[in-house]
Structure 1
Amino acid sequence: MRTANSTKIPGLALLLAAMLFSVFPLLSMLSAALQPQGTVPSGLSWPSEPQWHNFADAWNVANITTLATSSAILVLGVVPAAALFATMAGYALGQLRIPGGGIFFLLLLLGLTLPFEVTIVPLYYQIREMGLLNTRLGLILPLIGLNMPFAVFWMRAHFLNVPAELSEASSLDGAGPWRAFRHIQVPLAAPALAALCLLMFLSTWNQFLLAIVLIDDPDKRTMAGALQNFVGQYSTDVVLLNAGALLIMAPTIVVFLVFQRHFVKAMIAGAVKG
């Protein structure tokens, strides 16, 4: 018993430290968001009279209703398409072992090593030549492409760990690769696919730099673009900035809390298979 307790204490201490490290910035932002507008918050101090209306004011100032709708449209355009392409490519590379698959996979790995910022200027000129600047489609297409290296790598890792006997048994029953993919492989990939969709949702919802570069209309950008509405030419309202940042973060936190079991399930499955 003493040995078991002695091994649990360091783990609990590390878990508590990680929790405090994650929660403290949020508490600091919340305390700053509840201060009177026009003040400059310092440190972590709960105000004597919390200004809860700051969140409503930040919502209106940042035009969050419009930007939330725009972000939702972008997520619906990026995540399903990227998940479909990544699942099909991962299945082809992990199970079918297509000719030239190794070279294709190396190119994907090269995409993972390429810094995102390096692609901004070429993407801008390419989208401009396509006539898609200042359109949501001009942002959706690059985001799908930028998600592909990691997404295909993720799904390929899953399909590599699926027993080959399943594919052999389905072929003996007369099922071709496409039918086996739809009725056997995709249901088995549900945890990995759900975790991937969660990660792509977070990256798309929080996309800032690419939305600023490719879209001139502020109403067509993502929620993260609302932060610039709190930054004036001569001053910045720190209180409303913190309130707006919390409002922007809230959907991603809620989505992660709702779907975290799928993410954990995919992580555990990968660890057991590996």
Structure 2
Amino acid sequence: MKTSASELWLGRLVLVILMVITLVPFVTLFVTALHPTGTYPAGLSWPEEPQWGNFLSAFQAADMQKLLLSSVLIELGVVPLALLISTLAGFALGHLRPPGSRWIFLVFILGLTLPFEGIVVPLYYQMRDVGLLNTRWAIILPLLGLFMPFAVMWMRAHFVNMPEDISEAARIDGANNLQLFSRIHIPLSMPALSSLAILMFLWTWNQFLLAVVLVDDPTKRTMAGALGAFQGQWGTDIPLLCAGSLLILTPTLLVFLIFQRHFVAALLQGAVKG
């Protein structure tokens, strides 16, 4: 069915409106961050003398070097291990399909309904009892468990759609399950793995609730979690607060812009396979 010219223009208009709605908050933050510290900017008025030094001041005031190191350590503790576990589980549930795999997958599906807010209090007491409270492990370990339902479902959906002929041909050549997994399916799963890695990176970097509740030291939190302490210290200085917020958002924007093609490729791959 051919799309009419009016439908094309309507679609483009909707995209433009959505783009404007998405960009306005970032533009507002950026313009506000350029005003002199201690002022209360009104609207989107461009300052007469942009204060570019506000970004450096926010970087120094928030001790961003320690926050960046903490966030990187948490990312390294969460993302690689979560990818490994979810890929192994997804391969087993989606391709090998052992007895009871459907019931196991149902448990993971039920895990998707578990909200962070509903378990943060039990997590607090559990981390306290095992002596991990106020450490980065108090963020890493809960995030690994909370990410598993979605990650396993994501990877299982990928392996379910893999052609059986590829595995049968590899088994005829003498490949066992481990070789089949590492030499055949992992190289073919790079779009799904890369997109899942992007999602978990963004979710971990932007994790706020667990970081604030389970860790008192801001230098051991994620960047988003440390924003709470920064806001408490500089909450009355709106330009400096906006500059700090933009510095915290910048790494996630860069990661998404750099790897957006991998993310879109994985989504299109899933759409084509159904």
TM-score, with length taken from structure 2? 0.95
Alignment of 1:119-268 (within 5 A): 119-232=119-232, 236-268=236-268
- For 1:62, the equivalent position in structure 2 comes to 62
- For 2:101, the equivalent position in structure 1 comes to 101
**8 Å CA contact retained: 2:235, 2:241:** no
Q: Provide the secondary structure at the position in 2 that maps to 1:47.
A: coil
Distance 1:124 1:61 in 2: 29
Distance 1:128 1:192 in 2: 36
- For 1:77, the equivalent position in structure 2 comes to 77
CA distance 1:135–1:48, change in 2 (3 Å): same
Alpha-carbon shift at residue 4 of structure 1 (Å): 4.7
Range moving further from structure 2, 115-124 or 83-92: 115-124
CA distance 1:177–1:228, change in 2 (3 Å): same
- The alignment-based identity, stated in percent, is 57
Distance 2:8 2:258 in 1: 28
Distance 2:131 2:94 in 1: 37
State the AA in 1 paired with 2:134.
Answer: N
Alignment of 1:14-25 (within 5 A): 14-25=14-25
State the AA in 1 paired with 2:5.
Answer: N
The runs of 5 or more residues in structure 1 that have no matched partner are none
Q: Provide the secondary structure at the position in 1 that maps to 2:170.
A: helix
State the Cα deviation string for residues 9-50 of structure 1 (Å, max 9, x = none): 122112111111111110011111111111112211111111
Alpha-carbon shift at residue 231 of structure 1 (Å): 3.1
**8 Å CA contact retained: 2:33, 2:243:** yes
- For 2:113, the equivalent position in structure 1 comes to 113
State the AA in 2 paired with 1:122.
Answer: P
Q: Provide the secondary structure at the position in 2 that maps to 1:231.
A: helix
CA distance 1:97–1:205, change in 2 (3 Å): same
**8 Å CA contact retained: 1:133, 1:214:** yes
Alpha-carbon shift at residue 233 of structure 1 (Å): 7.4
Distance 2:70 2:234 in 1: 28
State the AA in 2 paired with 1:67.
Answer: L
**8 Å CA contact retained: 1:59, 1:244:** yes
**8 Å CA contact retained: 1:207, 1:224:** yes
**8 Å CA contact retained: 1:198, 1:259:** yes
- For 1:51, the equivalent position in structure 2 comes to 51
Alpha-carbon shift at residue 201 of structure 1 (Å): 0.2
Alpha-carbon shift at residue 236 of structure 1 (Å): 2.1
Distance 2:138 2:36 in 1: 40
- For 1:91, the equivalent position in structure 2 comes to 91
Distance 1:223 1:234 in 2: 16
The runs of 5 or more residues in structure 2 that have no matched partner are none
Alpha-carbon shift at residue 147 of structure 1 (Å): 0.7
Q: Provide the secondary structure at the position in 1 that maps to 2:134.
A: coil
Range moving further from structure 2, 72-81 or 125-134: 125-134
Alpha-carbon shift at residue 235 of structure 1 (Å): 5.5
Paired residues in the alignment total 273
Distance 2:3 2:211 in 1: 54
CA distance 1:118–1:18, change in 2 (3 Å): same
Provide the aligned C-alpha RMSD in A.
1.6
Distance 1:218 1:31 in 2: 27
State the AA in 1 paired with 2:118.
Answer: V
